[in-house]
A = this chain, B = another copy of it.
Amino acid sequence: MPRNALIARLERYTDLTTGERAAILEAGDGHQRFATGDRLIDENAPNQYLYIVEDGWLHASRDLVSGARQILRLHYPGDLVGTSSIAWARASTTLTALSPVEVTPVPKVALGRLFKAQPRLAALLYAVAAAEDVAMSDRLTSLGRTNAVERLATLLLDMLARLRLSRDGAVDTIDLPLTQSEIGDALGLTSIHVNRTFRTMETRGMIVREGRRVRLPNEAALTAMVGFVDRYETVATDWLPAPEPIAA
Residue contact A126 to B120, C-beta cutoff 8 Å: no
User: Contacts A83-B133, A115-B122, A134-B84 given: A140-B143 contact, CB under 8 Å?
Assistant: yes
In the assembled complex, the CB of A215 is this many whole angstroms from the nearest CB of chain B, namely: 24
Shortest CB distance A49–B (Å): 11
Chain A positions 30-71 with a Cβ under 8 Å from a chain B Cβ: 48, 60, 62, 64-66, 68-70
Instruction: Point out the residues of chain B lying under 8 angstroms from A89, CB to CB.
Output: 236, 238
Residue-by-residue, is A57-98 near B (CB-CB < 8 Å gives 1, otherwise 0)? 000101011101110100000000001101111001100000
Q: Is the CB of B112 within 8 A of A144?
A: no
Contacts of A137 in B (CB 8 A): 60, 62, 72, 84, 92-93, 136
Check A134/B241 contact, CB under 8 A, given A72-B141, A144-B70, A145-B69: no
What are 12 A-B residue pairs whose CB atoms fall within 8 Å in the complex? Answer: A66-B146, A72-B140, A87-B127, A88-B236, A108-B236, A112-B240, A115-B122, A115-B241, A116-B120, A119-B122, A126-B129, A140-B143
Interface presence of A187 (CB below 8 A): yes
Q: A119-B115, A126-B126, A129-B126 are in contact. Are A236 and B87 (CB under 8 A)?
A: yes
> A139 in the interface, Cβ–Cβ < 8 Å?
yes
The reply on A174 being an interface residue by CB < 8 A is: no
Q: Chain B residues with Cβ under 8 A from A92's Cβ?
A: 134, 137
> When chains A and B are docked, how far (Å) is the Cα of A68 from the Cα of B150?
14
CB distance from A248 to the nearest CB of B (A): 13
Whether A141 and B70, one on each chain, are in contact in the complex, defined by CB atoms closer than 8 angstroms, is yes
Number of copies of this chain in the oligomer?
2
- The reply on A148 being an interface residue by CB < 8 A is no
Q: How far is the CA of A132 from the CA of B133 in the complex (A)?
A: 9
A86→B239 contact, CB < 8 A: yes
Say if the beta carbon of A196 comes within 8 Å of chain B. no
Contact pick for A133, options B115, B136, B236, CB 8 Å: B136
In the complex, A131 has a CB within 8 A of chain B: yes
Residue in contact with A64 in the complex, picked from B116, B119, B146, CB distance below 8 Å: B146
Interface string of A217-248 (1 = CB under 8 A from B): 00000000111000100111011111000000
